[in-house]
Amino acid sequence: MRKFGVRAVIVAVLAAGLSGVAAVTGAGTAMACEAHQGDSREFAATLSRVEPGQRGVEVLGLQRALRYKGYGLRGTGLYAENTLASVKDFQRRNGIVDDGVVDQPTWQALVGVLPPANTRTPPLPERGMQPGAHDPQTMDWLSDALNRLEINSPEYHDGHYNDAWQATVRVFQRNVGIRDSGIIGPLTWGALYRAISISGQWGC
């Protein structure tokens, strides 16, 4: 009985300690999220004017941002007819002249209203990737970035930057106007991360 009593006390103390840790961790996360409440108007002010016919990272970010608003855009990086129809509908719904030109009024309505934690770009990865390289951590960074943009990529990686992953990156590079070498360097990381920021998919 005595041993059982001692064990019960130890278990209770450990459980309380773990609950306390969980509570503190939860509170920390909540406080961190609370600290990032607000809007992304300053970030939206850095976005360039986009018009039909253009291609680039800001077009792709625009398409992904609209997709998360319920528009069925794939994220091709080209401002074509489907994107124009979606932009005009969004503009009408937000009391903006529906001319299809994405300038500050549209960027502010679409991106400026987002919490800053969703658009704040973290530091770019310090390492790049050459075709055929083996680097599990860099592959994790790449997989995470592509998933945030909902870009179809292989479901699994073993740390190797193989042909299937290179093909995915080359499509992204072409879509945003980067030479489709498959090499991942600062230019490609910058395009991936900026597109995620524009689409508001960093989260807190």
pLDDT single digits (tens) 68-123: 999 999 889 999 999 999 999 999 999 999 999 999 999 999 999 999 999 999 99
Residue 10's domain spans which residues? 1-35
**Residue indicated by tokens 């055929």:** 132
pLDDT tens profile 67-83: 999 999 988 999 999 99
pTM: 0.81
Same domain, 158 and 114: yes
Kindly state whether residues 157 and 201 are assigned to the same domain. Answer: yes
Question: Same domain for 12 and 48?
Answer: no
Cβ atoms within 10 Å, residue 14: 10
Q: Which residue has the higher pLDDT, 18 or 51?
A: 51
Q: How many domains does the chain have?
A: 2
Indicate the length of the chain as a whole number. 204
Residue 91 and residue 142 share a domain: yes
3-state secondary structure of 134: strand
The mean-pLDDT minimum among 3-12, 103-112, 154-163, 195-204 falls in: 3-12
Same domain, 99 and 73: yes
Measured CA to CA in angstroms, residue 91 lies from 37, 60, 113 at distances of 25, 18, 14
Which among 68, 194, 60 is positioned nearest to 121, based on CA atoms?
194
45 shares a domain with 30: no
Same domain, 30 and 43: no
Residue 94 and residue 2 share a domain = no
Q: Indicate if 24 and 67 belong to the same structural domain.
A: no
Q: What is the DSSP letter of 50?
A: B
Of all helices (H) and strands (E), which one includes residue 175?
Answer: helix 163-175
Both 87 and 175 in one domain: the answer is: yes
